[in-house]
Amino acid sequence: MERGEIGRRGEEYAARYLTRLGYQIRVRNFRVRTGEIDLIAIDRGVVVFVEVRYRKMSAYGSPAESVDFRKRRRLIRAARAFLGTRNVQAPCRFDVIGLHPDDRGGVSVEHIRNAFDAEGRTTC
């Protein structure tokens, strides 16, 4: 399976996971010149920008750990573009969903709510 297909499957898995938690998925793969956001959802009145990461192996750290400062900065720019084009006036946050294979052949989910702030600083 190629990388793009793995990414699409991971995003679909994350969207189903978030939907089960009560999130309303509004946008998938929002793209602007400065970045991309995998999922944009609403969680109890809060706009949630979600980065989805998949890792086959944990040798290089968790999927969530791969969201470095540069990636966070691109996500923030894309979120600002989204908010500006939609004139959204609601609280916002950034979540990271890390996916990796578990021991039983399934997928393990690491959900970090409010993973970083609008300045790119990690909050956890």
Does this model's pTM top 0.75? My answer is: yes
Contact by Cβ (8 Å): 77, 34: yes
Q: How confident is the model at residue 5 (pLDDT cuts 50, 70, 90)?
A: low
Tally of CB atoms within 10 A around 67: 20
**What domains appear along the chain, each with residue ranges and CATH number?**
3-116 (3.40.1350.10)
pLDDT digits (tens, 9 = 90+) for 20-52: 999 999 999 999 998 999 999 999 999 999 999
